[in-house]
Structure 1
């Protein structure tokens, strides 16, 4: 293994993706909201290609995604952003 490929001490075994340390809560919630919006669009598109119980499952997933989006957006609304100096 090359020195560049060595595992860093803070890397967890088997984890491919991670959230960068030091990101603001606002940045994390904004990214979450955008990711959920994309998942919502995909679930919606899929649901209309399905019929019967499979369509109900896809629409149920879409509702759960929408609930997550509402919660993320509410958390974003509740964050107190630093006020610029006067």
Structure 2
């Protein structure tokens, strides 16, 4: 008769070592030391350099920090308006699901433009 449970029942999971591995098991000290050496070799100098260097933003496409809120909002509104027009024009050249996707993106851009315009109106009321 076949027994379902092993004789005697196992209380702890046993790790079967890989015959090709020079380490006894994945939890062995030699295995952990080798893993640490590999990580230090590949990530050590890079991660130490990244962590030691202070963050400096790339100023190529950065808005002037001295710009006022009104100027930034006006520029954002114009940029979003231009993006909306470009998306609508491009959507006119497409058919099917691609057209619907592009029109959906154009609508999201237009909603962003409306939000920026509302903030601009709240900031600088028009008379």
Is the TM-score greater than 0.5? yes
Deviations along 1:25-81, one digit per CA (max 9) or x if unpaired, are: 000000000000110110000110000000000000110010001000000000047
1:54 aligns with 2:98: yes
Equivalent residues in 2 for 1:35-50 (5 A)?
35-50=79-94
Q: Which runs of 5+ in 1 are unaligned?
A: 1-8, 82-86
Equivalent residues in 2 for 1:7-86 (5 A)?
11-12=56-57, 16-80=60-124
TM-score, length-normalised on structure 1? Answer: 0.75
Deviations along 1:1-23, one digit per CA (max 9) or x if unpaired, are: xxxxxxxx9842x5531010111
Contact 2:73 2:120 in 1 (8 A): yes
1: distance between equivalents of 2:59 and 2:100? 33
CA RMSD of aligned residues (A): 2.0
